[in-house]
């Protein structure tokens, strides 16, 4: 169950929030971009679940 939720989170981050095409030059800028993206992903999952949409469905949006 936990592994499945983690895989869904990474799919959302890569496919929906654009982390697949990360072109940053410094470790710090990559760190900031990843932190913002994961924060947004968690918020998006909470918002979707509140609307009755499963996290797995977000991957295909």
DSSP string across 2-32:
HHHHHHHHHHIIIIISSGGG---SSHHHHHH
Q: How sure is the predictor about 34, in pLDDT bands with cuts at 50, 70 and 90?
A: confident
Task: Please state, in angstroms and as integers, the Cα–Cα distance from residue 27 to each residue in 15, 22, 31, following that order.
Answer: 22, 12, 6
> pTM of this prediction?
0.60
List the structure tokens of 47.
């918002």
Q: pLDDT tens-digit profile of 1-15?
A: 778 877 887 777 777
Q: pLDDT tens-digit profile of 35-49?
A: 888 888 889 889 988
């Amino acid at each position: 169950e936990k592994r499945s939720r983690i895989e869904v989170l990474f799919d959302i981050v890569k496919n929906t929030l654009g982390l697949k095409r990360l072109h940053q030059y410094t470790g710090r800028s990559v760190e900031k971009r990843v932190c913002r993206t994961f924060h947004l992903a968690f918020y998006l999952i909470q918002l979707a679940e509140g609307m009755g949409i499963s996290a797995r469905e977000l991957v295909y949006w």
